Every structure is written in structure tokens, then in C-alpha cells.
Amino acid sequence: MVAIKVAEFAFPRMEAPDLDEMEEFLTHFGLVRAERTPDALYMRGTDGHHHLHAAHKGGTKFIGFAYHAADEDDLKRLAKLPGASGIETVDEPGGGKRVRLTEPNGYRVEVIAGQKRVPPVRVARDELNSAREPVRRAGKVMRLSKSPTSVQRIGHGVLSTPKVKETVAWFRETLGMIRSDDVYAGDKENIIGSFNRLDRGAEYVDHHVFFCNHNARAGLNHVSYEVQDIDCVFQDHEYIKRLGKYDHMWGIGRHLLGSQVYDYWCDPWGRVHERWADTDRLNASNGGHLLSAEEGFQSQWGERPPERFLGHASP
């Protein structure tokens, strides 16, 4: 029995030893400040969500993920689950109400209803001519905006865990996620990775909002954000590279599962953040698939993932 079906991914919550450094990285990455308090930083994109990233003054701990509920009735259902916090008023920028839960690896999962909305930011981008549509930009020359280009919205979060099956079952049964692709190694029962999407019925959603991969230790593998277009991925790769301040983890390439054009960067404490453009979109009727690791864990173009990415887990 599914408890609820969450509506959207909201944000990751983590600690940072220096909020100035955290804000500087995220600004270069394409987010902008929503609000800042003496002990917390909230960063937004160009969509209408109040914030897409929350960092608290402290160490380097990954705290957990937050999701938006469809309404407060969902919170009432969650509040009845074993170990749930009950419905709380959120005492931080953005407000709303929430229920706090704990997933199988001990990380916090918040489900929020009624968070404040903010006016979206309009971003002008040039149309792309193609062989099929050669005059989309007829009479105009392309002049890309300067970097950093803006993040539009949050895409997905990825957990590394030694308990893949248990973790995936929890997210599906508690938050109503459904399988896009499960990946196995050797025996088909040995699931080492699982891509899960939102269940919004006939509505098309991202290929995955939550990915879980096998690791000897639990932690955040990465958190992922959509940018305006593929040019943004490439030009900001060069922009961040020229800064000479941040560790590049992986990319640029195009995934097989999900099909995103990706680029992965580490924040000053090694937490991995992904910028991507273009993704497969599926609805509930598209079902799910089971693939071998040899089939699934590859890029359609670009380098194979480095071992340090596959084994990455920020606790």
C-alpha cells in the first residue's frame, strides 16, 4: 500500500562549514540567493519555488532530501506512519507545513505542503536551428549570454547505500515513486541501481527523481539541476573550469538511462552537484525496465563514469 504520491522534489538539505564559500560555489553553479539567515543559506533557480538548496552552518553533513506534497491531506496520512514527526510548522524561509520521516539509511526525508511561491525569472535564450527546423532563428545571429547561466529547477537526488532494495522499497511505498529502470549485476535479483520517477498518472515527468546505487557506505552521491539548454552545460563547464577553484567529477556526456547531457562538479567539501539539459519524460503508462549493469551504466557519448564517482558517498 502506497502512503502518498509526492508531487515534486523540493531540495537537498546539508551542512557547510562556511556559508560564504557555499554561496559562492552555488552562484557560480547557476543558483541565486533566495534568503540567508545567520546560520542558513537558501538558494533558488528561475522557477517559482522558494528555494532549491538549503545549507546550514556546521560541518559537512548531508542531512537529507525534501519533497513537495500535493496537499496537506498527504501530510495527515504521512503523520500516521511509524516514526513520523507529526505535522509541523516550518520555521524557516519559505514556510509551509511538513512531516519529517527517516529513510532506511538514517537520512531525513521531509515532505512539505504550502511552501511560499516566488515569481519566476524569465530567461531569454536563442532558438536553435536544426536540420529538421532550419529557420527557428531565421534572420538572427546567436549570441550566448555570459556565464554563469541560470539553473531552472531541481531534477533529482541520488543516494549511495549498502541497502538498495530496502531503500528503494521505502521510497516507493512511502512516497509513491515508480520504477523507470532497475539495474542488476550478475543475478537479476541482485539490484545495484534503481531509477525511480514520480507517479503523476498521465502527466509526463522526468525519467527519474530519485536514483539509488549500491555502495559499501551510505551517503549523498549527487544532487542534480536542470539548466536552460545544452549550450548552458557546455559554456558553464568552461566557465567553472576557468575559475580553477572546484573539482570536476565527470562529464560532459549524454547518459543512456534518462538521456541527460550532464556535467558534474564538487562543492568545496566534495559534495557532487550536477548540471544537465534534456531528459526523457515518461508517464505512469510507460512502465519500467530491468537491465544489466553492462547495458545500463554507460553513456551514449562521453567517457565512462570514473570509479571515484561510482564509489562516491558524502555522509
Is the confidence at residue 85, as pLDDT, over 90? yes
With a pLDDT cut of 70, the percent of the chain lying above it is 100
Length of the chain: 315
Grid cell of 13 as nine digits: 538539505
Whole-angstrom Cα distance, residue 222 to residue 265? 9
Q: β-pairing, 178-184 with 191-197?
A: antiparallel
pLDDT tens per residue, range 54-79: 999 999 999 999 999 999 999 999 99
pLDDT at 33: 98
pLDDT tens per residue, range 235-291: 999 999 999 999 999 999 999 999 999 999 999 999 999 999 999 999 999 999 999
pLDDT at 1: 81
Residue in 73, 57, 56, 53 with CA at minimum distance from that of residue 65: 53
Report whether CATH 3.50.50.60 matches the domain 8-119+150-310: no
- The pTM of this model reads 0.97
pLDDT tens per residue, range 14-42: 999 999 999 999 999 999 999 999 999 99
Which three-class secondary structure state does DSSP give residue 75?
Answer: helix
Grid cell of 108 as nine digits: 531525513
With a pLDDT cut of 90, the percent of the chain lying above it is 99
Read off the pLDDT of each residue in 92-114 and give the average, rounded to a whole number.
Answer: 98
pLDDT at 275: 98
Read off the pLDDT of each residue in 106-127 and give the average, rounded to a whole number.
Answer: 96
DSSP track, 235-300: HHHHHHHHHT-S-EEEEEEEESSS--EEEEEE-TTS-EEEEEE---EE-GGG--EEEEHHHHS-EE
Grid cell of 204 as nine digits: 509526463
